[in-house]
């Protein structure tokens, strides 16, 4: 049996605007373990960028927080550039959300609708 994952706390950082949000994930002792940025692309579509997140637990905590920020901004579709994101984080997203793949030029984009 695996031990439960360490708790992850996600907080906004920097100025939040209608078109963007930045979030930081902290572990139980306050160390930064991940970052996420949400940027409006066009219309109701936003792009998520993940940094530093080394585990699926951290990535999913950030994704949950980004989805809340996306809903607050009226975004109904999110995407992640899988070509520039660690495979383990993309796999965690695919396990947790119903996703679609979209090829744009040389980039593979994973898209999904934020959960309610």
Mean pLDDT for the stretch of residues 19-23 = 94
Domain boundaries, the chain: 9-112
Q: Could you read off the pLDDT of 31-73 as tens digits, one per residue?
A: 999 999 999 998 899 999 999 888 889 999 999 999 999 999 9
| Distances from the Cα of 59 to the Cα of 7, 49, 64, 97, 112, angstroms | 12, 10, 9, 12, 15
* Dist. CA 22–CA 34, nearest whole Å: 11
Whole-prediction pTM value? 0.88
In the block, residue with structure tokens 């572990």? 27
- For the domain spanning 9-112, the CATH number is 3.40.630.30
Mean pLDDT across the chain = 91
At 83 the pLDDT is 94
């Amino acid at each position: 049996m695996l031990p439960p994952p360490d708790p992850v706390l996600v907080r906004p950082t920097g100025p939040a605007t209608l078109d963007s949000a930045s979030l930081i994930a902290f572990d139980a002792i306050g160390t930064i373990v991940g970052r996420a940025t949400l940027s409006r692309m066009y219309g109701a579509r936003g792009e998520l960028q993940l940094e530093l997140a080394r585990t699926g637990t951290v990535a999913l905590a950030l994704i949950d927080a980004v989805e809340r920020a996306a809903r607050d901004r009226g975004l109904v579709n999110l995407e992640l550039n899988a070509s520039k994101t660690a495979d383990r984080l993309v796999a965690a997203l695919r396990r947790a959300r119903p996703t679609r793949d979209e090829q744009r030029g040389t980039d593979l984009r994973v898209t999904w609708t934020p959960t309610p």
